[in-house]
């Protein structure tokens, strides 16, 4: 079995993480673990944002990633990173690194104006994502999702000027160079 690969896509809400993840998975055999795979079932039972909610969501994400790494599955993980999330990042990547896998961090960025336009996309509602500028704006003000870096070497892509297909091409090129 070859070493599993983890692509850790992070950036602000509405930047295009899931769109880029799908573009990669459409070209290479990656599974996609996007934010709402864990959020949606938990919000059905627990109030969004409570300590219990985040504890269960975090545990589900860690367990899914660990199982994928154990099975040798190439995975794309999408995440809205903000300062204070460093331990979660370490928990996620450790599952792959402990199995000899590789991890590629990709920070996706776009201007505030682009995010506020994209948040209106109809497909965001299908996944229960933020779909109103009035909901997104306070989050963009509260959390540093624009300049916050995970602190590891990463690829930075501006999705305000780069299409999802072009971003996928850059990411796949970087993965090929890692091997």
Residue 127 belongs to domain with CATH number: 3.40.50.300
Assign 68 a pLDDT band (cuts: 50, 70, 90): very high
For 137-169, the pLDDT digits (tens) are 777 777 665 666 677 778 999 999 999 999 999
Is pLDDT at 8 greater than 80 in this prediction?
Answer: yes
Number of structural domains the chain divides into: 1
Q: What pLDDT score was predicted for residue 125?
A: 63
Is pLDDT at 131 greater than 70 in this prediction?
Answer: no
Give 151-158's long-range contacts (Cβ < 8 A, gap of 24+). 151/86, 152/103, 152/105, 153/105, 154/104, 154/105, 154/106, 154/107, 155/104, 155/105, 155/106, 155/107, 156/106, 156/107, 156/109, 157/20, 157/106, 157/107, 157/108, 157/109, 158/109, 158/110
For 15-28, the pLDDT digits (tens) are 899 999 999 999 99
Residue ranges making up the domain that contains 80: 5-178
């Amino acid at each position: 079995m070859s070493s599993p690969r983890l692509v850790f896509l992070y950036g602000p809400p509405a930047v295009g993480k899931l769109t880029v993840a799908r573009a990669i998975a459409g070209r290479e055999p990656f599974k996609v673990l996007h934010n709402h795979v864990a959020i949606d079932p938990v919000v059905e039972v627990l109030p969004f944002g409570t300590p219990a909610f985040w504890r269960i969501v975090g545990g589900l994400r860690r367990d899914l990633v660990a199982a994928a790494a154990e099975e040798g599955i190439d995975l794309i993980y999408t995440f809205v990173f903000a300062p204070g999330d460093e331990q979660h990042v370490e928990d996620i990547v450790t599952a792959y690194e402990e199995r000899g896998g590789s991890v590629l961090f990709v920070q996706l960025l776009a201007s505030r104006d682009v995010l506020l336009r994209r948040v209106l996309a109809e497909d965001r509602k299908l996944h229960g994502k933020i779909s109103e500028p009035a909901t997104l704006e306070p989050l963009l003000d509260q959390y540093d999702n624009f300049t916050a870096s995970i602190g590891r070497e990463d690829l930075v892509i501006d999705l305000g000027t780069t299409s999802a297909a072009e971003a996928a091409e850059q990411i796949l090129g970087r993965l090929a160079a890692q091997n």
